[in-house]
Amino acid sequence: MSLTFEARKKTILETLEKDEIVKVRTLAESLYVSGETIRRDLDKLEKNGLLKKVYGGAVKAKLTTELTFDQKTTLNKQEKRAISKAAADLVEDGDSILIGHGTTTLDIVRFLNGKNNVKVITASVPVLLLAMEMFHGQIIFLGGEVERHQKFTSGSLSEMSLGQLKVNKAFIAAGGVSIKDGITDYDLHGSSMSRKMIKRVNEAIILADHTKFGKTTFAHICALTDISVIVTSEKCSEEWKSTLIEKEIELLVAEIF
């Protein structure tokens, strides 16, 4: 009896993680199904961002370049807002929180005003400006060298300030989420800041819209085992939800409003 799609998917993704390429003929032989069945499986997995089809098989999803902060604000706006709200719901009275750079984390501050005695610490210029406008608690800005296109600070001054703090929770936006490569970013400086934030907190919470899954970007932040929760939206594929459950990674799925 042939395997179910879920069982075939697991084998395909595990082979891809190990060999970085899969072949239709080899998979068909090892899974005792037709080449056409494997091609349909690869079509489905490509649509969910888990791989990239090539002639005769598939490879891992490509590395991609990053849009500017302003360009990214127009993408998946409702989904990112829903993810931010779900993330803000994780904040408890008395928490100190780090909010990382990126558009997915920006709106967290919009949903914090029902919380008491919360401190917001950030290296993101847009988060700082929005917090000054909308958030009534204490704000700490991690000054340093400014990255103009992505609008955050980094470098020795930022890291020195960060090293003096111990914080309850960090909210980090992912450039990519991969089973093998973990959480990645597009920028070395940005990934370094996110990595150091994770080291200064009790809980590291990753925010990722549905387009980030199955993707590896340029700079490594951390392994999946280093994080506490991934917050995404209902647009995240069922395949990825199942994959994360299998890996025992806590997933919070936000309903888009």
pLDDT in tens, 105-149: 999 999 998 899 999 999 999 999 999 999 999 999 999 999 999
Phi, psi of 133 (to 5 degrees): -85, -40
Phi, psi of 135 (to 5 degrees): -105, 135
Segments in 55-122 forming alpha helices (H): 69-72, 77-88, 103-106
- State what percent of residues in the chain have pLDDT above 70: 98
Examine the pLDDT at 57 and tell me if it is beyond 90. Answer: yes
Please state whether the predicted TM-score (pTM) of the whole model is above 0.85.
Answer: no
CB atoms within 10 A of CB 75: 13
Examine the pLDDT at 78 and tell me if it is beyond 70. Answer: yes
- State what percent of residues in the chain have pLDDT above 90: 75
Examine the pLDDT at 207 and tell me if it is beyond 80. Answer: yes
Q: Distances in Å between the alpha carbon of 238 and those of 6, 104, 177?
A: 10, 21, 15
Beta bridge partners of 219: 185
Residue 20, pLDDT score: 79
Domains of the chain with CATH codes:
5-59 (1.10.10.10), 69-254 (3.40.50.1360)
Residue 13, pLDDT score: 85
C-alpha span between 136 and 115 (Å, rounded): 10
Q: Distances in Å between the alpha carbon of 249 and those of 66, 225, 231, 236, 242?
A: 26, 8, 11, 14, 10
Query: What tokens does 50 get?
Result: 């888990």
Nearest residue to 84 via CA among 102, 62, 66: 102
Residue 56, pLDDT score: 92
Q: Which of residues 201 and 16 earns the better pLDDT score?
A: 201
C-alpha span between 153 and 196 (Å, rounded): 13
Answer yes or no: are the C-beta atoms of 170 and 100 closer than 8 Å: yes
